[in-house]
Amino acid sequence: MDALILLGSFIVLILIGMPVAYALGLSALIGAWWIDIPFDALMIQVAGGVNKFSLLAIPFFVLAGAIMAEGGMSRRLVALAGVCVGFVRGGLSLVNIMASTFFGAISGSSVADTASVGSVLIPEMEKAGYPRDYSTAVTVSGSVQALLTPPSHNSVLYSLAAGGSVSIASLFIAGIGPGLLLSAVMMALCMVFARKRNYPKGEVIPLRQALKIAGEALWGLMAMVIILGGILSGVFTATESAAIAVVWSFFVTMFIYRDYKWRDLPKLMHRAGRTIAIVMILIGFAASFGYILTLMEIPTKITAVFLTLSDNRYVILMCINVMLLMLGTVMDMAPLILILTPILLPVITGLGIDPVHFGMIMLVNLGIGLITPPVGAVLFVGSAVGKVTIEATVKALLPFYVALFAVLMAVTYIPAISLWLPSVVL
């Protein structure tokens, strides 16, 4: 009955259109009232949920991503990708995927990736003869890797939801393997389409021009080197690296590239501040929701239910994958990470699955949800940037869904894809 009151009230509030953050907070209040817990205790959980040093990484990475997205960095990374792969058949589609790889490894945001890369490449692909819906589908599917590669905001959220028991640095390094695998699979699929549909080849860029493009893009790529290099060398923590990323992106944008006007900075800060406020409210209310979940022993009961289904870890992982894929289509990624991680972590640790590995499984699952209707935030952004209907984009995405599912299966059942690199460098 406890679970019915808490989860039922949350579902009802979502169905009537209440924002997820407020639905979490209000359903936690209802749950506290039901089990006779003082509301003061709930408010302490809300405050404690956001009063964590590691959480500083989120606003800093959001701000850094915003500066990079609007400061000309994406355009230069697209040009660099063109130097690397633009000359093969279907080169612009490969440029799109590779640009997402570069930019995702700097911004850590699929939405920023889609908006920045898409605004540059979708019109260019259309001019070259690619259908606009296909160009949008390539952009949207390629941006999923930004959720995996460092500095992924969602890895920070997963570490927080796991109670700090999973290292952010381990998650950052673990995301490199799945991210590169996703990029390789997407590029292979684009090459198949290019040959089948006879998409055009690009031109080989002269060496002098290529060196100039690489030199300009290097300033942006240095953000990735600074973040990962600083963490791995122990110079600064993953949280401190976020502040370094802001300083570096600001320096490069305003003093090296100088494409962005100083008078536009307040508007950028305002937009970033709104995003950060929404995330922090969500984290605080999710902490109170998780507190009531624990008091009601719901994670323990759900663990027991999963273990009664089968004692085979592979079967249970498939059941979890199906559940995450279904939930990812109707809810946004951040609240699902905050809600489901405390529930599912006891299940996977009981099966002997590494929490870092499970973090990658969850991120790939929910990343697919971000490009799947009816509530796919990245899908909506991509369709808006590409000026294509949701229906047309989804139709063009169908083969990419199959490829993403293949990546999900590989990440799920081959732990080394996620765990080998952290075992070597950490």
- Would you state the pLDDT for residue 417? 95
State both tokens at 147.
């959720």
pLDDT grade for 401, boundaries at 50, 70 and 90: very high
- Would you state the pLDDT for residue 406? 95
Would the pLDDT of 34 be above 80? yes
User: What's the whole-number average pLDDT of the chain?
Assistant: 85
Nearest to 419 by CA among 348, 355, 334, 341: 355
Domain residue ranges of the chain, discontinuous segments joined by +: 50-260+297-425
- Residue 89, classified by CB atoms within 10 Å of its CB into exposed (0-12), middle (13-18) or buried (19+), is middle
pLDDT grade for 133, boundaries at 50, 70 and 90: very high
Query: What mean pLDDT is predicted for residues 55-67?
Result: 79
* Residue 201, φ and ψ in degrees, nearest 5: -85, 155
Residues 6+ apart with CB under 8 A from 293: 6, 299, 342, 343
Label residues 230-239 b or e (16+ Cβ within 10 Å = b): bbeeeebbbb
Query: What mean pLDDT is predicted for residues 309-315?
Result: 82
pLDDT grade for 178, boundaries at 50, 70 and 90: very high
Q: What is the pTM of this model?
A: 0.85
Can you tell me whether residue 89 is helix, strand or coil? strand
CB 191 within 8 A of CB 90: yes
From 72-76, 207-211, 419-423, the region with the lowest mean pLDDT? 72-76
pLDDT grade for 412, boundaries at 50, 70 and 90: very high
Would the pLDDT of 426 be above 80? no
State both tokens at 59.
């606003």
pLDDT tens-digit readout, 185-219: 999 999 999 989 888 877 778 888 888 888 888 88
Which has more pLDDT, 238 or 314? 314
